[in-house]
Amino acid sequence: MLPKVVIFNYFIWLFSIHGTCLAIKHPVILIPGDGGSQIEAKLDKPSVVHYLCDKKTVDYSNIWLNLELLVPYVIDCLIDNMRLIYDNNTRTTYSPPGVDIRVAGWGNATAVEYIDPSLTSFGAYFKTIGNALVSVGLERDVSIRGAPYDFRRAPNENAEFFIKLKTLTEETYAQNNNTPVVFIVHSMGGCMSLQFLRNQTQEWKDKHIRALVSLAGAWGGAVKALKVFAVGDDLGVYVLSGSVLKAEQITSPSLAWLLPSPFFWKPDDVLVQTEKTNFTISNYKSFFEGINYITGYEMWQDIRKYKDFGPPGVEVHCLHGSTVTTVEKLVYGPGKFPDKYPDIKYGNGDGTVNMRSLEGCVYWATMQKQKVYHQVFPGADHMTILHDERVMDYISQLMEKL
């Protein structure tokens, strides 16, 4: 039998060589924000909006994000298939006749690393973060999982997602040696995660969740959501028209969910200024009547209770950008509201979410016993934060320390 000292020295040597392999790594679930999931559709439509549109398809095919659909005329097909129809009686939405929608890739890392399933750089989403996680010892689809969802809908229509997320968390925990999971979330994915965590028992969270890492969390909404309701958004693609895309964008209840929150804006903070009326969080109904889209207010009524802002009850790492011009107010000159494009007044934020909303997480420091870490990355905008080297370093170092 070998002397005990020899056996001891052998294990010291073994650990020095293979220490990183033996160390426990916390698995990660990636939760995307608005627009961050792959959407597929199967069609059997009674009619189409353009002769270039498919009326019937044999199987499901990707429509979001598919570059081939983001071209003139053909984009009308995308808009018609992605739009939702609001039912005042059920207070829910449904797809147009003959359009069957599903979210692709549940549990798979690649499904959220790329919005475009062809894996092109244009559609890269969580890809850089996925690479960073692999570099510290995690494995895709084993210790790196993806939790995509129908981002068009708000929590009131995403009950199935929350059920599946709990199962995925428990499954990921179990298959990684009963190791608590880290949620890495982006934008509205932070809000979805908050809703999920606040509905779990503290005992469950203490067992299954190690930390919540939020990137550009839209905790209190954004004035940009009002801009989209008013004039649409071109998604940062110069060949697209915001006014054209608006027809689909404003049908999403999640857009109403992202309206500026009463927890972060004062009742007299002017968000939309017109010749006759100034609109604030106190008179959203008048705003939607003014733009002739009262459905937007109905959706706001449906989701208001989900704007409640309590702590998640887990350790939080809140990362976001700053010093990027961000929509602060819409100003309509005489005779411009609601049909003309407004002047935009800008303030501090990450280009999409206002600073007061991004910083919402700091309030949790006094509301929960779990630690809240807050880090600002000047110049990182709402999307580039997903690829920012400073953020990748933070995440890599965090995963090594946890």
Query: What is the C-alpha separation between 357 and 215, in angstroms, rounded?
Result: 12
Residue 229 lies in a domain: yes
Q: Which residues are catalytic?
A: 187, 350, 382
Residue 20 lies in a domain: no
Residue 52 lies in a domain: no
For residue 323, what is the domain's CATH number? 3.40.50.1820
* Bond preceding residue 65 cis, omega within 30 of 0: yes
pLDDT of amino acid 11: 40
Residue 145 lies in a domain: yes
Residue 291 lies in a domain: yes
pLDDT of amino acid 319: 98
Q: How many domains does the chain have?
A: 1
Which pTM does this prediction carry?
0.93
pLDDT of amino acid 240: 67
Domain extent, residue 250, equals 25-36+105-401
Residue 8 lies in a domain: no
pLDDT of amino acid 2: 46
Residue 119 lies in a domain: yes
Residue 58 lies in a domain: no
Residues 6+ apart with CB under 8 A from 13: none
Full pLDDT tens readout for the chain, 402 residues: 445 444 444 444 444 444 444 467 999 999 999 999 999 999 999 999 999 999 999 999 999 988 888 888 899 999 999 999 999 999 999 999 999 999 999 999 999 999 988 877 778 999 999 999 999 999 999 999 999 999 999 999 999 999 999 999 999 999 999 999 999 999 999 999 999 999 999 999 999 999 999 999 999 999 999 999 999 997 766 556 777 899 999 999 999 999 999 999 999 999 999 999 999 999 999 999 999 999 999 999 999 999 888 999 999 999 999 999 999 999 999 999 999 999 999 999 999 999 999 999 999 999 999 999 999 999 999 999 999 999 999 999 999 999
